[in-house]
Amino acid sequence: VVTGTTWSAGAGREVRVVESAEALAEAAADLVIDAASRRPPTGIMLAGGATPRRSYEVVAARAAPGAFAGVHLWYGDERMVPPDHPDSNHGMVVRAWLGAVTGPGPHVHRIRGELPAAEAAAMADGELRAVGGEAPAIDLALLGIGGDGHTASLFPGDDVLDAGALFAPARAGRRATATLRVLSAARRVVFLVSGAAKAAVVAAAIAGPDRALPASLVAPAGGVLWLLDRAAAARLPAPGDPR
């Protein structure tokens, strides 16, 4: 298990810093495998983008055969491209992890990027309601953060920030995303962030809710864990510093 410094950055905001991007991937993989071992009834939501790819490769390398049998996997968002397109989040997860799974595997609820965003979002919404009911509580949601403070495909200024559905189209139909309603209802939310380029936005998002930084609006009752490598944590006050 990867150990690192952990501290509270305020109500509902825990920070854990590990040394390197590789240590970050290992820590995230351990969280995902641990969540799966508890047979989460609603499932695990995966982040897209570049940061989590290595984590998914580590999951594939470390998970015991059948570790994810029957576990529902969801996506925080998807780009509206076919799954074999290089930009597809599902395609990335298949290449990094799912393509190597033999034997009983997870229930993968990919967002159908080949369809129009509204249709794909409605389908994902229906699938999540079927599993988790009208107020589904995802057991573990992994999220990333963009330099502009977006998370999943919840970008600053996008109407989707106020969407009442579980999944909704975003980015003028170029994306489909889980909404703040779903993310803030998750039992556990982990932001996985690596690299110096994210240090400023991490510090700003942790400082408190700000509609200009959608990641800062994810506020599950159980709080969020910011899982950072040292470079991404560089702009945070050291634990115990006066705010």
- Main-chain dihedrals φ then ψ at residue 214, nearest 5 degrees: -50, -30
How near is the Cβ of 78 to ligand 6PG at its closest, in Å?
7
Are 108 and 7 in contact by the 8 Å Cβ rule? The answer is no
Q: Which residue is nearest to ligand 6PG (CB)?
A: 144
Between 62 and 174, CB nearer to ligand 6PG: 174
CA nearest 50: which of 145, 160, 171?
Answer: 145
Q: Which of positions 141-180 make contact with ligand 6PG (CB under 6 A)?
A: 144-146, 150-152
Length of the chain: 243
CA nearest 71: which of 110, 99, 38?
Answer: 38
Judged by CB under 6 A, which of 55, 88, 89, 216 binds ligand 6PG?
Answer: 89
CA nearest 205: which of 218, 191, 216?
Answer: 216
Judged by CB under 6 A, which of 28, 29, 32, 47 binds ligand 6PG?
Answer: 47
How near is the Cβ of 102 to ligand 6PG at its closest, in Å?
27
Are 202 and 233 in contact by the 8 Å Cβ rule? The answer is yes
- The reply on whether position 136 binds ligand 6PG by CB under 6 A is no
Size of the site for ligand 6PG (CB under 6 A): 14
How near is the Cβ of 53 to ligand 6PG at its closest, in Å?
8
Are 206 and 153 in contact by the 8 Å Cβ rule? The answer is no
Between 145 and 183, CB nearer to ligand 6PG: 145
- The reply on whether position 214 binds ligand 6PG by CB under 6 A is no
- The reply on whether position 48 binds ligand 6PG by CB under 6 A is yes
Q: Kindly report the CA angle at 57 between 80 and 102, in degrees rounded to 5?
A: 90
Binding mask 100-129 for ligand 6PG (x = CB under 6 A): ------------------------------
Between 113 and 132, CB nearer to ligand 6PG: 113
DSSP string over 172-205: GGTEEEE-HHHHTT-S-EEEEE-SGGGHHHHHHH
Judged by CB under 6 A, which of 26, 77, 127, 158 binds ligand 6PG?
Answer: 77
Q: What is the CA radius of gyration of the chain?
A: 17
Between 67 and 165, CB nearer to ligand 6PG: 165
Give the C-alpha distances (Å, rounded to integers) separating 184 from 14, 119, 187. Answer: 16, 23, 8
Determine the interface stretch with ligand 6PG among 41-49, 56-64, 105-113, 200-208 (rule: CB under 6 A).
41-49
Q: Which residues bind ligand 6PG (CB under 6 A)?
A: 47-51, 76-77, 89, 144-146, 150-152
